[in-house]
Structure 1
């Protein structure tokens, strides 16, 4: 039997169970609160230890619900950076023994339970309402430890007032007004955010708790090429539109006489851009290869001298950069968005101020050790690293929920 004279013994037990100092301190404070009050210490100590054990069991195995926009299947056949990231995360969680449920496009092929969205588009209001209600209904019937959204924040609306831990991951520019509304509605300590780069996270932290967790690729899927010929082509891989800077990649190729491969899809809004800024310059030196699948991408990136990222916008992450690095191919990118976070000068590429600077740095690319390029990617952006970071955050959120339940129940009893 434990009583109020054995506070340190209780704290020692908790210390063996929890290595997180903040959580330990909170439980020690809770123990002292109980000892100072007129509560039945034996009963409260048992309940405290029981709830602590529940937190530990959650750490071993969680039920995680993931959501992704309904338009593109997971994994995607061609374009779909967010869907690739979710696929990687799902496989990592399942391989670690966690239960995973994914709300996604019905054509998705996943090693876990798939729930097909009733609303097939992200933007129409009626589809948004369908998906809000569907997600809430399923969660009500089959409780989860964490709901992690890579889709619209609006889908979480009816879940926000609940104690259920909710994580919203931004892979693009966040809408701050929506974050403000969500924080006002959400139950205290139940809503958290992540950004795919510090550039994105900085836009969130002024409004809500947020962490940076980078995107990743499975390095085993990419073939490392230790060497390429000195006359190997440059490559531009991405959507063919002005903000991606395809025209600047072409200009660099013309200036330097280097061969250039252009690969990627042409969105509807990029058709006229392609006709005016790309097509007139295509020849034996500058080739447009069209959209490419994962196998083709792996081959092209591995054979290139460097990947060009002459972006004209603030790229939230740019997963193609780490795909290139997985093949050993360095990156030349403009100093915008997340580029300076991913590209380490002289290690895996160069950050360039403008096209003149990119032309100058191109001469230095051949001196970069492609083996180090690959190693830098594996250390920071591999699947194992990023899955572990998300899992650590899930576990922290689940523990915080248990802690809040302890505090809420104790507060009620103290008032009585």
Structure 2
């Protein structure tokens, strides 16, 4: 199949990844290409050159010199332009990871099917975009978890979704026999990820903690996290996948502290793939990823989390690995996506498209 993938414009799709969505988009494009499909990724400039990508956006998320209204207007113009390119591109299917409302509003203008994936909770502009897309007969929606689907159904009761869990590369996230006495926390460093709570829980559990991930919120890091750092709670920075996989595999426990309802929680699946059990807060999709055989989930409480860290120690690392391979492997995800794509392409009939607005 000839497949176009729309990335969001905030960050380049490259290592070290800014977050789970960047990692997911990278592997999706890579694995579809390796499976023999003709893939074009429309992404921000600076993305990984080994990917079949076209630099359609300038990354703007970290550019504080540009006013927010200018960034919003820029993204709208670029997505409008992209939809015109896609309409003429003779693609079999468009996979939309943009997190932007314009591809949704203009889904009916495309002559090919478009699949949009629910990677986030419902926010206002995206909800309005999805409401517009309900009239596009060839647009389909995928939820990355039951939790994500439920949150969107509360916002749009007639939204139909297909469940396909995100996948991890189980060939990269591998177990090791070289465990060391430390816990590890991985993720974007923002308040809703709850890193400060993980540090406090690890201290109570008398467990050294390693911390990895990009600093998204410098104010939160300096005020809530940095004062808690010590030789027992060490920030390693934002590591590349191979270095990060080694650190996760060597840890005795993976600590996951979402203070919001995570749509998926890729880091937890990566930890299980390494055979590392998870101690975390039972919110969002984490309850779908972690079972009693592979981790301990508790309410959002530091003392309860400290106990959970200790309670994971007897758990079987073999069972953790087995769950990741069976339920959350990259191979399984790609197969489910391509099966779904093929159904849409096989059912394709000539669509009556709408006119796209002109772009200055």
Q: Is the 8 A contact 1:106 1:117 kept in 2?
A: yes
Which residue, 218, 221, 237 being the options, matches 2:172? 221
Q: Secondary structure at the match of 1:169?
A: strand
SS in 2 for 1:329: coil
Question: Bigger CA drift: 198-207 or 172-181?
Answer: 172-181
Shift of 1:120: 4.4
Q: 1:114 aligns with which of 53, 71, 93?
A: 53
For residues 307-341 of structure 1, the C-alpha deviation after alignment (integer angstroms, 9 at most, x for no partner) is 11122111121211112112111111111111101
Q: Does 1:245 align with 2:194?
A: yes
Task: State the secondary structure of the residue aligned to 1:358.
Answer: helix
Q: Given the alignment, which residue of 284, 290, 307 partners 2:231?
A: 284
* Corresponding residue number in structure 2 for 1:44: none
Relative contact order (alpha carbons < 8 A, sep ≥ 6): 1 or 2 greater? 2
Deviation at 1:183, TM superposition (A): 4.1
- Are 2:157 and 1:210 equivalent residues in the alignment? no
Give the conservation status (yes or no) of the 8 Å contact 2:263–2:284.
Answer: yes
Map of 1:329 onto structure 2: 276
Partner of 1:58: none
The answer on 1:98 being equivalent to 2:37 is: yes
**Contact 1:163-1:187 within 8 A present in 2 as well:** no
State the SS of the aligned residue for 1:395: helix
The question of whether the paired residues in 2 share the 8 Å contact of 1:252 and 1:355 is answered with yes
Residues 1:117 and 1:359: Cα distance change in structure 2 (over 3 Å): same
1:72 is matched with which residue? Answer: 11
Structure 1 counterpart of 2:331: 384
Match 1:348 to one of 294, 304, 319: 294
Change (3 A) 1:227 1:185: closer
Q: Tell whether the 8 Å contact from 1:162 to 1:187 is kept in structure 2 after alignment.
A: no
Q: 2:105 aligns with which of 133, 146, 157?
A: 157
Runs (4+) off by over 6 Å: none
Query: Matched residues in 2 for 1:202 and 1:163: separation?
Result: 30
Name whichever of 151-160 and 85-94 sits farther off.
151-160
Rounded to whole Å, the distance in 2 between the matches of 1:319 and 1:154 is 26
Question: 95, 118, 124: which one pairs with 1:170?
Answer: 118
Number of aligned positions between the proteins: 339
Higher helix share: 1
From the superposition, tell whether residues 129 and 379 of structure 1 become closer, same or farther in structure 2 (CA, over 3 Å).
same
Q: CA deviation at 1:83?
A: 1.7
Deviations 1:120-142 (A, max 9, x none): 44873432333233222322332
Residue 221 of structure 2 is aligned to residue 274 of structure 1: yes
Match of 1:42?
A: none
Shift of 1:110: 5.3
Report the alpha carbon displacement of residue 67 of structure 1 after superposing the two structures with TM: 0.5
Structure 1 CA distance for aligned equivalents of residues 200 and 52 of structure 2: 48
Distance in 1 (CA, whole Å) between partners of 2:49 and 2:271 is 25
Residues 272/102 of structure 1: CA separation in 2 closer, same or farther (3 Å cut):
closer
SS of corresponding position for 2:54: strand
Contact 2:44 2:56 in 1 (8 A): yes
Change beyond 3 A, Cα 1:133–1:240? closer
Partner of 2:22: 83
Alpha-carbon distance in structure 1 between the residues aligned to 2:13 and 2:265: 18
CA contact (8 A) 2:146 2:285 kept: yes
Deviations 1:185-212 (A, max 9, x none): 5654211111221111123342322112
Does the CA-based 8 Å contact 1:106-1:116 persist in structure 2? yes
Which structure 1 residue ranges, 5 or more long, are not aligned? 1-61, 409-416
- Which of 50, 57, 73 is equivalent to 1:126? 73
Calculate the TM-score normalised by the size of structure 1.
Answer: 0.75
Alignment correspondent of 1:34: none
Please tell me whether Structure 1 or Structure 2 has the larger radius of gyration of its CA atoms.
1
TM-score (norm 2): 0.85
